[in-house]
A and B are shown apart, each in its own frame.
Chain A
């Protein structure tokens, strides 16, 4: 009986820790496979932490035993819901401009500005109460054939991935 309880606890922790990937939107851009250029794949990613206040309220309500506290939580939830109306993807974040600099990152990734086959992906990593709100751009940088050979020998042909979360930048 005790081991069964332990197993269920472990299962609940595993389910809570594991994230669910939710896809909100995908957009494919024009593709130019000009033989004069070699296409180098790249991937850019920016993310921000989102907080699901509705879920947080439900958890707080379930944990509190006092009826007055539960009523207060309901009141607060009502006020929050009034301010979070309208169409949206994912859950609210604290900084709405987290995806603003992705164009600059794109120029850094491909300084010539010659990009093609851009796929914009808006997705979310859902955990209990919090989430990772992600904007991902995948595409190809068009390089003239001669410079592409140099670049390929440096990177060994693997796609370059850059991810940025809460303005901290790292290269994977």
Chain B
């Protein structure tokens, strides 16, 4: 019984993630703040084996697609990571959200 509780507790602890913010940045906020657009990119890293950071590249392209022909201002970039299984598995996530304005 005790073994089962301990093993279940370990599984729960393993699945629960700790989230850390690596960096945050904000650009000039526009006057008109009606149309909010968000782009997110993420990558799972297993056993700290990460050989490139190319997942970041598509964030700017995503924002551009979501506000085609307009301006995205007041961009809040949040770079965070979540640890699972005592840090053996890491989820890296970058979120950029801003306000789209079209002339």
Contacts and interface: CB of A to CB of B under 8 A. Distances in A.
22 contacts: A21-B52, A21-B53, A22-B50, A25-B22, A25-B23, A26-B23, A26-B56, A26-B79, A28-B25, A30-B27, A30-B28, A31-B63, A31-B75, A31-B98, A32-B71, A33-B67, A33-B68, A33-B70, A117-B60, A119-B56, A121-B53, A138-B57
Nearest to B92: A23
A28 B63 contact: yes
Nearest to A119: B60
Interface centre among B22, B27, B60, B98 (most CB of A within 10 A): B60
A27 interface: yes
A166 interface: no
Given A18-B51, A30-B27, A31-B60, A24 B22 contact: yes
Nearest to A122: B23
B53 to A, nearest CB: 5
Contacts of B71: 30-34
B59 A28 contact: yes
A30 B23 contact: no
Contact of A27 (B25, B63, B98): B25
Interface of A: 18-35, 39, 117, 119, 121, 123, 138-140
A38 B48 CA distance: 39
Give the interface SS of chain B, mostly helix, strand, loop or mixed. mixed
B51 A20 contact: yes
Interface centre among A31, A35, A119, A123 (most CB of B within 10 A): A31
B91 interface: no
Interface string B35-63: 00000000000001111110011011001
Contacts of A22: 50
A27 B23 contact: yes
Given A31-B72, A32-B71, A23 B53 contact: yes
